[in-house]
Amino acid sequence: MPNHFEETFLSPEYKKMHGIAFGKMPRAIVLAGPTGVGKTVLSLQLAKIMGAEIVSCDSMQVYKGMDIGTAKPSILERNEIPHHLIDIREVKKPINVVEFFQEAKKATESIVSRNRIPIFVGGTGFYIQALIHGPPIGPPADANVRKLLHSDLERFSIEALYDRICKLDPEYAKDITPFDKHKILRALEIMAITHKKVSDFHPKKFSKGLELDFHCWFLSRSRKALYERIEQRCDQMIKIGFLEEMEDLVQKGLQTNVTASNAIGYRQALDFLHSKRTEEEFHDFIAKFKQKTRQYAKKQFTWFRKQKEFRWLDLEKYSQEAAIQAVLLDFERR
């Protein structure tokens, strides 16, 4: 990487200009992408060059002990580059998008007050959307209601729950697909809590987002290359102790947190731990773990294609150095 980037972004002059000088909003970078694409490596290199701090936008990395299955940056990496919104909750205490937004706001204000640059990194689109546009207006999540809805999901199907919305709130049903599990569960949760239709809350209306000039990037690879990385990643997670991590989390109350216990990998691991643990069941666990991770990556692609703020950066067409240079040049010019 050319030295002038380090000189530019680490200079006192640049840091002074980065703040709210001349009435301008401070700038920030968002690095989103599917699971396994390589967000962590690129973000760490970028943060070193810019003297930046990283804000995790992963809905599961907020929980203590969920380390291997969420591919958290290592302690060494976190000591080298300041990270925020990692390990801020005990695993049995759920977090919702409004609480996440509030924590992110506090972290960002701290970063900017020190004339540092925030880099938001993650693949949880709903959380990233909340940072940019503000969290959706509506009642906070209710763990008991959500637990009942997940029970219904296991007994019936996502299509059956969608049919329920069609009967209760046909206006809102037109705005979502029959397979959008997150929106379907959230809609039923809102109706159960408030006894009102979701459409009464103007679901497309958002509160105010963070006051930042966001430079948003979505990191991508070809499906074949990404799926190969996912296969290797899942195998490596199991090799370094994912199941042992899961056993420890169960002891700490993971199953009381419906969202966390149903996270990709953790749900499949939990099912295996409750089985007879035969060799056949072990191989079935691995296959389902990989399958669900691939499906999640596909959903991330689909979701971010609809987000107009994001420019796509193909990590197969660009080397790591070229990708970083593209992000830096954009940040420097805009």
Predicted local distance difference test score (pLDDT) of residue 202: 59
CB 165 within 8 A of CB 127: no
Find the length of the chain: 334
> In the sheet that 310-314 helps form, which strands lie side by side, from edge to edge?
83-84, 53-56, 118-122, 27-32, 213-220, 310-314
Determine the average pLDDT of the residues in 273-282: 97
Tens of pLDDT along 8-45?
555 555 445 444 344 478 999 999 999 999 999 999 99
Strand partners, 218: 32, 312
Taking only the tens place, the pLDDT of each residue in 113-164 is: 999 999 999 999 999 999 999 987 778 778 889 889 989 998 999 999 999 9
Q: For position 21, what pLDDT does the model report?
A: 42
Indicate the pTM of the whole model: 0.81
The pLDDT confidence band at residue 4, using thresholds 50, 70 and 90, is low
pLDDT value, residue 116? 96
Which pLDDT belongs to residue 139?
Answer: 80
CA dihedral 39, 43, 46, 47 (to 10 degrees): 180
User: Which range is least confidently modeled, 46-60, 125-139, 300-314?
Assistant: 125-139
Which CATH number is 143-201 given?
A: 1.10.20.140
What single-letter DSSP state applies at residue 63? Answer: B
Lowest mean pLDDT among 10-19, 209-218, 303-312: 10-19
219-234: pLDDT as tens digits: 999 999 999 999 999 9
- Is domain 3-136+207-222+299-333 in CATH 3.40.50.300, yes or no? yes
| pLDDT the model gives residue 179 | 82
Placement of tokens 């919104």 in the chain = 85
Domain boundaries, the chain: 3-136+207-222+299-333, 143-201, 226-297
CA dihedral (44, 47, 53, 54) positive or negative: negative
Closest CA to 185 of 228, 211, 154: 154
Q: What is the pLDDT of residues 248-267, one digit of tens each?
A: 999 999 998 988 998 999 99
Per-residue pLDDT tens digits for 166-212: 999 999 999 888 888 888 998 999 999 999 998 887 545 556 889 99
| Four-way CATH pick for 226-297: 1.10.10, 1.10.287, 1.10.3470, 1.25.10 | 1.10.287
pLDDT at residue 206 in the model: 52
Amino acid at 149: L
Separation in Å, CA 45 to CA 49, 128, 268? 6, 21, 33
**52, 146, 65, 57: which is closest to 100 by C-alpha?**
57
